Amino acid sequence: MALEHAILVSLRERSATGYDLARRFDASIGHFWSATHQQIYKVLARMEQAGWVDVAHTENGGRRGKKTYSITSSGLAELTRWVHEPSTREAVRSDFTVKLRAGLDFDAIRADTETRLADHREQLAAYETSEKKFYPDPTNLTANEIGSWLALRGGLSREKHGIAWCEEILANLPHSNGETQ
Amino acid sequence: MALEHAILVSLRERSATGYDLARRFDASIGHFWSATHQQIYKVLARMEQAGWVDVAHTENGGRRGKKTYSITSSGLAELTRWVHEPSTREAVRSDFTVKLRAGLDFDAIRADTETRLADHREQLAAYETSEKKFYPDPTNLTANEIGSWLALRGGLSREKHGIAWCEEILANLPHSNGETQ
DNA sequence: TTCAGCATGTAATATGTTACATGATTAG
DNA sequence: CTAATCATGTAACATATTACATGCTGAA
C-alpha cells in the first residue's frame, strides 16, 4: 500500500518521469523502499486514474512520448492522510537468518556473512559521505531537511547494527565440513 | 522463495501440523520470517507435491482429519542446497521511514515513533528473557544451538538499533501544527 | 556503427493479504 | 452452554518479480 506514497514523497521533491523515479528507487529512496521500473509504471497509471498525479506529455516525433508526472493537491491530501495513520509493523523476512537458524553448514554461512559484512561497510561509508555532504551541520536544519536527515540516520544506524551482528557471527561460528547435525 | 525453507527448518526441529507451524510463525520463527496460516497451508500443499515433506493423517471420525507434516530426505537435501546459495539482499520496505522522509506532520511522526519505541522495548525485553532462559552460558553451546543463538543475537541487536534510532528521532524532531512545508 | 543510457511498457508468474467458511474439542 | 483454542481450508484481491519487447538519442 505504500509504493504510491513513496512515489508521492519523491514527486513532491521534484516532478519526474517513471524512468527518473526508477533511478531514484535505485539510489536515495531505495534505501528505505525498493521498487522496479515495471512496478513503478503500473502504480503510476493507477495513481493517474486516482487523480493523485498529473501527466505532462512530451511529444518527440517518435512513437512514444516522455511522460512527466507531478503531484496534485489531491495527491498531497492523500499523502497527508496517510502520514496520520499509525504505521504498520514491518514484516520481517530475512532469508539470511533462516539460513543461520538452519545450522546446516557453517562454512557457507561464514562466506555469506563475509559478503554481507562487506556490503554493510560499503553502504555505511556511502551514508557517511552523504551525511557530510548534505547535512554538515545537523544542529541547523530546516523543517524540510530534518525528516530526510533522520531517515539517513536510521540507515547509518541500521548498517552499524548489521556490521556488529556480522562481526559477532564471524567471531562465534565454529568451522565445519558441510553438515553439522 | 524462502517460506518453504523456513518451514523446512522448523519441521527439522520437530514435525508439526499447519496450525502448529502458524503458531511458531507467530512466535519464534516469526522473529525473522512472518507468514499467515493461509499462506502456510498453500505452501505445505506445494511442498508435499515436491516431495519435501511427508504427511501423516490422523482420522478422527469427523469430516476433516489432522495432518502432521515431517521433513523428508529430499526436503533436507533441498534445504542444504539452498543454504549454500549466497543469500539475497533483503528488500528494504519501511513505510515508517517514508513517512519520516515526507516531512509532513511531525506530531503524527512523534506519536508513531513513541509507539514503535514501546514495541521495540517490549520485544527487546522478550529477547533478553529468551536469552537468559535458553542460552544462559553462550560460551558453551552445541553446534545445533549456535545458529539459533546467533539469530537471537541478531534480534537483540536489531531492537537495540531500533530503540536508539527512535530516541534520536524524538530528540531531534521539532513540534509542529500539522503541515510543515 | 555500436553500445550505453533514456524511456515506456506487456505478460506470465509468484507471493502474500484479507475476508470468509467450517467443524471438533476442551476448559470454565 | 459458551467461549477459546485446535484445525483446515477457499476465494478474491493486491502486490511484486522475472522475462520479454520496443525504439530513441548521443557519445566513442
Instruction: Tell me the three state secondary structure of residue B163.
Output: helix
Cβ–Cβ gap A97/B33 under 8 Å? yes
Q: Which three cell numbers stand for residue A58?
A: 512530451
**Long-range contact set of residues B46-55: C-beta below 8 Å, sequence gap at least 24:** B46/B4, B47/B4, B47/B7, B47/B8, B47/B75, B50/B74, B50/B78, B51/B75, B52/B4, B52/B8, B52/B78, B53/B7, B53/B8, B53/B11
Cβ within 7 Å of nucleic strand D, residues? A 1-3, 34-36, 38-39, 43, 60-63; B 17-20, 22-23, 37-38, 41-42, 44-45, 64, 66-68, 91, 93
Per-position DSSP letters for B3-71, written without gaps between them: HHHHHHHHHHHS-B-HHHHHHHHHTTGGGTB---HHHHHHHHHHHHHHTSEEEEEE--SSSS-EEEEEE
What is the count of residue pairs from A and B with beta carbons less than 8 Å apart?
Answer: 211
Burial B140-162 (b: 16+ CB within 10 A, else e): ebeeeebbbbbbbbbbbbbbbbb
Within 8 A of A91 by CB-CB distance, chain B residues are 34
pLDDT tens for chain B, 181 residues: list them. 799 999 999 999 999 999 999 999 998 899 999 999 999 999 999 999 999 999 999 876 556 689 999 999 999 999 999 999 999 888 899 999 999 999 999 999 999 999 999 999 999 999 999 999 999 999 999 988 999 999 999 999 999 999 999 999 999 999 874 554 4
Q: Is residue A103 left, alpha or beta, with left meaning phi > 0 and alpha meaning psi from -120 to 50?
A: left
Q: Tell me whether A131 touches chain B (CB under 8 Å).
A: no
Long-range (24+ apart) CB contacts under 8 A made by B130-138 are B131/B156, B138/A172
Q: Out of B80, B146, B176, name the one closest to residue A172 (CB).
A: B146
List chain D nucleotides near protein: any atom < 7 Å from a Cβ.
Answer: 6-11, 14-20, 23-25
How many Å apart are A122 CA and D27 C1'? 31
Cβ–Cβ gap A83/B99 under 8 Å = yes
pTM, rounded to two decimals: 0.93
Pick from B34, B92, B168: CB nearest A91: B34
User: Which amino acid type is present at position A119?
Assistant: D
pLDDT tens, residue by residue, A165-181:
999 999 999 987 455 44
CB–CB contact B143 A82 (8 Å): no
Within the 54-83 window of chain B, which residues sit less than 8 Å (CB to CB) from chain A?
Answer: 79-80, 82-83
